[in-house]
Amino acid sequence: MQKLKEHLNPKSNINELLDEAYDEALEDENFKNFVGRIRLKKEQLKKYTSLLEESEKEYSNCQNCKGLLECKNKLEGFAYLPKVVNESLEFSYKACKYKKKMDKENKYHENTYLYNLPKEIEQASIKKIYKTDKARYNTIIWLTEFIKKYKENPHQKGLYLCGNFGSGKTYLIAAMLNELAKDNVKSAIIFWPEFLNDLKASFNSPIKTEFKTKYDIVKKAPLLLIDDIGAESVTPWARDEILCPILQYRMDEKLPTFFTSNLDLKALETHLSITSKGDEIIKAGRIISRIKQLTEYQELISKNLRK
pLDDT score recorded for residue 208: 65
Q: Are strands 223-227 and 257-261 parallel, antiparallel or unpaired?
A: parallel
pLDDT at 264 over 90: yes
pLDDT at 248 over 90: yes
Which of 42-46, 190-194, 282-286 has the weakest average pLDDT? 42-46
Residue 108 pLDDT class (50, 70, 90 cuts) = confident
Distance CA 52, CA 36 (A): 11
Q: Please provide the size of the chain in residues.
A: 307
Is the pLDDT higher at 94 or at 208?
A: 94
pLDDT at 288 over 80: yes
pLDDT score recorded for residue 133: 80
Residue 2 pLDDT class (50, 70, 90 cuts) = very low
pLDDT score recorded for residue 10: 56
Distance CA 247, CA 125 (A): 27
Query: What's the maximum distance between 2 C-alpha atoms anywhere in the chain?
Result: 104
- Give the type of residue at 184: N
pLDDT score recorded for residue 160: 98
Residue 6 pLDDT class (50, 70, 90 cuts) = very low
Distance CA 238, CA 215 (A): 12
Q: Which is nearest to 299 in space by CA: 207, 169, 204?
A: 169
Query: pLDDT exceeding 70 applies to what percent of the chain?
Result: 93
> If you average pLDDT over residues 236-254, what whole number do you get?
96
Q: Which is nearest to 147 in space by CA: 190, 176, 109?
A: 176
pTM of the model: 0.73
> If you average pLDDT over residues 288-294, what whole number do you get?
98
pLDDT score recorded for residue 17: 87
Which of 3-12, 22-31, 271-280 has the weakest average pLDDT? 3-12
Cβ atoms of 117 and 189 within 8 Å: the answer is yes
pLDDT tens-digit readout, 82-100: 999 998 999 999 999 998 8
pLDDT score recorded for residue 301: 81
CB atoms within 10 A of CB 198: 17
Angle at 25 between CA 61 and CA 71, to 5 degrees: 10
> If you average pLDDT over residues 263-279, what whole number do you get?
91
pLDDT tens-digit readout, 134-149: 888 999 999 999 999 9
- CA-to-CA dists, residue 292 to 258, 284, 288, 295, angstroms: 11, 13, 6, 5
pLDDT score recorded for residue 209: 82
pLDDT score recorded for residue 295: 98
Helices (H), the chain: 2-8, 10-25, 29-36, 42-45, 49-63, 97-106, 119-122, 137-152, 169-181, 192-203, 209-220, 236, 244-252, 265-273, 281-294
Cβ atoms of 145 and 179 within 8 Å: the answer is no
Q: What are phi and psi of 90, to 5 degrees?
A: -125, 135
Which of 50-59, 95-104, 184-193, 263-272 has the weakest average pLDDT? 95-104
Query: pLDDT exceeding 90 applies to what percent of the chain?
Result: 67
pLDDT at 207 over 80: no
pLDDT score recorded for residue 306: 64
Distance CA 86, CA 90 (A): 10
> If you average pLDDT over residues 63-76, what whole number do you get?
91
